[in-house]
């Protein structure tokens, strides 16, 4: 088989190539050259870009084999994520690659503004020695207001706390207890503006945050405040900031980001109190290398059809550690359910019970869909195209959560209904310190089976001798039984036998067993 093709559209670190490894055919192009990009992307499986390459709807439509778009960095302004999702293409980035670099730059700007380093440096280079002109202020025992307590905001708060600063934080999506863990006091934005000697902004750019630190906010600040924005341009209103500095309400500002980029003519840069740099937040060797390695690893996972934690169009947010072990289990449940039904159900309920139901478990719905279609369609099933496959085939899904699980700490149940109204279900859990996977229910009957590569499920009317007949047929076929579990509704009623075996059961052997025991149904599940 030919190797998957990975297109490198911009210069990336050598470590990126090493992380990709030898399993891919790697091609290169100049992604900033539109014609060259559109010609090069036609038959590739993945494309790796930075910020200069525009992977828009046109490029995605031209890429007939594309499965992954990888942005070696944080922002995705140059990637049309909705178009990629519609096409079933996974989009990945490196959300944590530059957080240390960005945090350190914010602090660099803060110190530069506080001690007037750039202006003093320029004066000295001009042949002047004016110590008294550049008197600054200390951070020690001052109050820092951190606007946005995400990954970068947390790092900034932790580092400035070590300077002996009192830390206030504003973030409507963070609990007070979380802020307290890093030594910050959560307050309203108005309180932060009134009390902070320094303010540093670390929010994403959204319609709600654009202009957040604007004319109104800058009239509420503590006189002499110094403001840093190393997040996104436009969150701090540049005209309002200019006016506040000129009028003496704000003592200085450090800016890494701008409302319009690139920019070289901002009025703010005419002010000696302002330190400005051209969006250098991620511009360190370490951040670039981390970003390249992270997306290379994500590409490897994505092309293998595996879950990619950094996929932005699969599930928002970080997957909780308690949820992760349930992902492969839920995929297996999906494969077992589709085998039991013998087709794709018309509707599917993914029911998550127990402690993990308090977490974001949307990824388990995706895992179930991936399992449902894994043995049904010829194409590779991924966490991006599984919902697309479900929509195309009219499969309606619901994710239901219940925080109480009577019998197990956590339980995942897949319940499917066919077009003729027949209902099927399978449940699984993870047990013990080693999180051992177990199937604990099939169509309402209790079992306890560890899923293996080869499994056999038979439903029949409870009667003596059935187990012996099954064993005889499998023995004659040279198939060793690894485990067996029999469950029944009542003596002489409906019964289910679940077997794990060491090798595949052929259709001929299955047919012979079903006929011999008068089984209502017999299904082979191959999880290899």
Instruction: Tell me what the pLDDT averaged over the chain comes to.
Output: 92
Contact present, 24 and 5 (Cβ < 8 Å): yes
Domain ranges across the chain = 5-95+286-303, 99-276, 316-451, 452-528
pLDDT at position 316 = 47
390 half-sphere exposure, CB direction, 13 A CA radius:
26
What interhelical angle do 99-115 and 151-161 show, nearest 10?
A: 50
pLDDT at position 519 = 93
* Dist. CA 217–CA 194, nearest whole Å: 10
Question: Strand, coil or helix: what is 234?
Answer: coil
pLDDT at position 326 = 93
Query: Is residue 425 over pLDDT 70?
Result: yes
* Dist. CA 261–CA 330, nearest whole Å: 45
Backbone torsions φ then ψ of 184, nearest 5 degrees: -110, 150
CATH of domain 452-528: 3.30.70.260
Which of 21, 24, 19 minimizes the C-alpha distance to 6? 24
Which tens digit of pLDDT belongs to each residue from 336-363?
999 999 888 999 999 999 999 998 898 8
* Dist. CA 403–CA 422, nearest whole Å: 28
* Dist. CA 240–CA 224, nearest whole Å: 15
Structural class in CATH, domain 99-276: alpha beta
Average pLDDT over residues 370-377: 88
Same fold, 5-95+286-303 and 99-276: yes
Number of CB atoms found within 10 A of residue 206's CB: 10
pLDDT at position 380 = 66
Q: Is 67 a catalytic residue?
A: no
What is the CA 201 to chain-centroid distance, rounded? 24
From the number of C-beta atoms within 10 Å of its C-beta (0-12, 13-18, 19+), residue 21 rates as: exposed
Given 131, 261, 378, 434, the catalytic residue: 261
Pairing of strands 423-431, 454-461: unpaired
Number of CB atoms found within 10 A of residue 394's CB: 10
CB-based contacts of 379-388 (< 8 A; 24+ apart in sequence): 380/67, 380/305, 381/305, 382/67, 382/88, 382/90, 382/302, 382/305, 383/90, 383/307, 383/308, 383/311, 383/314, 383/315, 384/85, 384/88, 384/89, 384/90, 384/311, 384/313, 384/314, 385/88, 388/86, 388/88
Fold of the domain built from segment(s) 316-451? 60s Ribosomal Protein L30; Chain: A; (3.30.1330)
**What is the share, in percent, of the chain residues with pLDDT greater than 70?**
98
Given 50, 67, 116, 232, the catalytic residue: 232
Contact present, 37 and 59 (Cβ < 8 Å): yes
CA angle 482, 487, 492 (to 5 degrees): 130
Which tens digit of pLDDT belongs to each residue from 431-455?
988 899 999 999 999 999 999 999 9
Question: Strand, coil or helix: what is 466?
Answer: helix
Which tens digit of pLDDT belongs to each residue from 406-421?
899 999 999 999 988 9
With cut-offs at 50, 70 and 90, classify the pLDDT of residue 25: very high
Given 67, 116, 202, 279, the catalytic residue: 279
pLDDT at position 313 = 80
Average pLDDT over residues 123-141: 95
Report residue 335 as tokens.
């494969």
> Can you point out the beta strands (E) in 68-116?
68-71, 90-92
CA angle 199, 205, 206 (to 5 degrees): 120
* Dihedral (CA of 74, 77, 81, 87) sign: negative
Sheet (strand 494-501) strand order: 481-488, 494-501, 454-461, 521-526
Residue 267 to residues 49, 254, 270, 274, 280, Cα–Cα distance (Å):
33, 14, 5, 10, 20
Pairing of strands 410-417, 423-431: antiparallel
Question: Strand, coil or helix: what is 361?
Answer: coil
Fold of the domain built from segment(s) 5-95+286-303? Rossmann fold (3.40.50)
* Dist. CA 17–CA 300, nearest whole Å: 12
Query: Is residue 12 over pLDDT 80?
Result: yes
Lowest mean pLDDT among 47-51, 96-100, 306-310, 317-321: 317-321
Query: Is residue 212 over pLDDT 60?
Result: yes
* Dist. CA 244–CA 86, nearest whole Å: 45
Q: Is 28 a catalytic residue?
A: no
* Dist. CA 394–CA 338, nearest whole Å: 15
21 half-sphere exposure, CB direction, 13 A CA radius:
9
Query: Is residue 383 over pLDDT 80?
Result: no
Contact present, 431 and 439 (Cβ < 8 Å): no
């Amino acid at each position: 088989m030919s190797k998957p093709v990975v297109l490198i559209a911009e210069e990336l670190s050598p470590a990126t190539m090493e992380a990709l490894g030898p399993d891919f055919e790697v091609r290169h192009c100049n992604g900033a050259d539109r014609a060259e990009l559109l010609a090069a992307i036609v038959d590739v499986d993945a494309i790796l870009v930075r910020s200069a390459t525009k992977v828009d709807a046109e490029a995605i439509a031209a890429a007939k084999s594309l499965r992954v778009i990888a942005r070696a960095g944080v922002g995705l302004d140059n990637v049309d994520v909705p178009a990629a999702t519609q096409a079933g293409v996974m989009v990945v980035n490196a959300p944590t690659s530059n957080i240390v670099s960005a945090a350190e730059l914010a602090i660099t700007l803060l110190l530069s503004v506080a001690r007037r380093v750039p202006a003093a440096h320029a004066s000295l280079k001009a042949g002047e020695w004016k110590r008294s002109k550049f008197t600054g202020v200390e951070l020690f025992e001052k109050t820092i207001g951190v606007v946005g307590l995400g990954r970068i905001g947390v790092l900034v708060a932790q580092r400035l706390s070590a300077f002996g600063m009192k830390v206030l934080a504003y973030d409507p999506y963070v609990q007070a207890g979380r802020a307290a863990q890093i030594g910050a006091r959560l307050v309203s934005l108005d309180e932060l503006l009134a009390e902070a000697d320094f303010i540093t902004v670390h929010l994403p750019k959204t319609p709600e945050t654009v202009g957040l630190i604007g004319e109104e906010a800058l009239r509420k600040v503590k006189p002499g405040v110094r403001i840093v924005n190393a997040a996104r341009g436009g969150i701090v209103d540049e005209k309002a900031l200019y006016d506040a500095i000129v009028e003496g309400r704000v003592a200085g500002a450090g800016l890494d980001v701008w409302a319009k980029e690139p920019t070289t003519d901002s009025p703010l840069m005419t002010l000696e109190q302002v330190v400005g740099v051209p969006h250098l937040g991620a511009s360190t060797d370490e951040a670039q290398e981390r970003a390249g390695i992270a997306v290379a690893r994500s590409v490897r996972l994505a092309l293998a059809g595996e879950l990619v934690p950094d996929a932005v169009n699969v599930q928002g947010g970080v997957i909780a550690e308690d949820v992760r072990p349930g992902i492969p289990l839920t995929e297996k449940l999906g494969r077992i359910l589709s085998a039991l039904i013998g087709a794709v159900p018309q509707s599917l309920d993914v029911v998550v019970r127990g402690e993990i139901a308090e977490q974001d478990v949307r990824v388990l719905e995706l895992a179930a869909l991936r399992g449902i279609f894994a043995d049904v369609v010829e194409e590779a099933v991924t966490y991006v195209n599984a919902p697309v496959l479900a929509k195309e085939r009219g499969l309606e899904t619901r994710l239901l959560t219940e925080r109480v699980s009577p019998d197990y700490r956590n339980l995942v149940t897949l319940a499917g209904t066919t077009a003729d109204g027949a209902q099927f279900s399978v449940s699984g859990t993870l047990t013990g310190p080693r999180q051992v996977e177990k199937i604990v229910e099939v169509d309402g009957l209790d079992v306890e089976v560890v899923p293996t590569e080869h499994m056999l499920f038979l439903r029949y009317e409870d009667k003596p001798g059935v187990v012996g007949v099954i064993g005889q047929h499998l023995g004659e076929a040279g198939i060793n039984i690894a485990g067996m579990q029999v469950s029944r509704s009542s003596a002489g009623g409906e019964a289910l036998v679940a077997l794990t075996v060491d090798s595949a059961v052929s259709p001929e052997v299955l047919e012979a067993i079903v006929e011999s025991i008068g089984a209502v149904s017999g299904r082979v599940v191959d999880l290899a």
